Amino acid sequence: MIKHLRSAADLDAATATLILDTAGEMAALAGREVKKLPTLRGRTVVNLFYEDSTRTRISFEAAAKRLSADVINFSAKGSSVSKGESLKDTALTLQAMGADAVVIRHPASGAPHRLAQWVDGSVVNAGDGTHEHPTQALLDAYTMRSRLGRLDGLKVAIVGDVLHSRVARSNVLLLTTLGAEITVVGPPTLIPLDLAAALSPATKVSYDLDSVLPDMDVVMMLRVQTERMQDSYFPSAREYSRRYGLDIARMRKLPEHAIVMHPGPMNRGMEITPEVADSSRSTIVEQVANGVSARMAVLYLLLGGKA
C-alpha cells in the first residue's frame, strides 16, 4: 500500500480498486445503528484546513471518528497561521504531537507534497489550490461504479470550469487509470489547449455540450470558481448557463441510464438548475454519503489496515 495520497496519480488500477472495494465494505457500516469500527483506536488523525470547506472537512472528520481514531481539527483561521506561522513550523508542531495521518487542504498547489517531507505520518491531500483533490475522485468513481456497475469503458463528460478545478484533474487521472473514457467540455477559455492532453493523452476535448450529451453515461458538472478568476473568462453568467449549464432540456439529451454528478458546492442556476440538481438522475447527495466511506477506506488502508 502507498503511504501518502497526494495525487490521483499515486494510485495504480489495483490500488484504486482496492480502495473502492474497501469503501464498499465501509458503506455497509453506515446502515448500522452503531457506525463505528475499532480499527484506528489510539491513532491520531489531524485535519489541517487552510481553505474553507464544508463537505470535505466534515467527511474526513466523520471518517476518522467512525474508525475510532483521535481526531484533531485545525483550521488556519484562529490559529498561529494568522500570526504568520509557516506551513513548515505547523508541520513540525504536528510531528511533535505524533500525528499518524495529516489531512491537508491548502490554497497552494503542491502543499501536500511539501508537508510529506516534514512529517513522518501519512499525508492525504484534501484539495490543494487548483491542482488535485484525489479523495473526491475516489468518491466519484465509487458513486459511478455503484450506480452503473462498472468504470471500464464508461463515457464521462466533465463540464465547465476545468481550468480551476482540482476535482477535474484528479478525476481525469483516476478515471483514466480505471479505464473510463473522458471528455472535458467547456468554453475554450476554461480548457487550456494542452491541459487535457497533459493529464492523459486519451482525454477528448469539446466546446459543445449539446453534441456530447447523447453519448455519455455520466455528466459531471463543475462549479464555476469565481474566487479563483482574476480575468473574465466568459461574457456573463447568463451566457455561460445558456451554453454550458445543465437544465432539464439538456438533461433529456442524455441516455436514459445516465447520471448527473456535481462535487458541490453548487452555483444553482449557473452550471446546474435546481430541477436537475434535485432530480432522480442526480447523485449529488449520494456523493456526499459515499465521501465518508471512501475516506474511511483511504485512512484505513494508508494507516496499515488490510483489505
Using CB under 6 A as the binding rule, whether residue 121 contacts ligand ASP is answered as no
Question: In this complex, which beta carbon is closest to ligand ASP, that of residue 44 or of residue 267?
Answer: 267
The nearer residue to ligand ASP, 93 or 225, going by C-beta atoms, is 225
Q: Residue 223 interacts with ligand ASP (CB under 6 A)? A: yes
Let me know: does 213 contact 253? Beta carbons within 8 Å: yes
- Using an 8 Å Cβ cutoff, are 154 and 145 in contact? no
Question: How far is CA 112 from its chain centroid?
Answer: 15
112 touches ligand ASP (CB under 6 A): no
Residue 189, C-alpha cell as written in the block? 477559455
Among 112, 245, 263, 291, binds ligand ASP (CB under 6 A): 263
CA atoms of 18 and 170, how far apart (whole Å): 17
Q: Applying CB under 6 A, does 133 fall inside the site for ligand ASP?
A: yes
Which grid coordinates belong to 66?
A: 467512525
**Which one of the listed residues 55, 147, 243, 268 is annotated catalytic?**
55
> How far apart (Å, rounded) are the C-alpha atoms in residues 173 and 182?
10
Q: Does residue number 131 form part of the binding site for ligand ASP (CB under 6 A)?
A: no
Name the residue nearer to ligand ASP (CB basis): 106 or 133. 133
Nearer to ligand ASP, 17 or 225 (CB): 225
Residue 238 burial (C-beta neighbours within 10 Å; 0-12, 13-18, 19+): exposed
Is there binding between residue 57 and ligand ASP (CB under 6 A)? Answer: no
**295 interacts with ligand ASP by CB under 6 A:** no
Residue 169 contacts ligand ASP per CB under 6 A: no
For 111-147, b where at least 16 C-beta lie within 10 A, e where not — what string?
bbebbbebbebbbbbbbbbbbbbbbbbbbbbbbbbbb
Catalytic status, residue 105: yes
Name the site residues for ligand ASP (rule: CB under 6 A). 127, 133, 166-167, 223, 225, 263-264
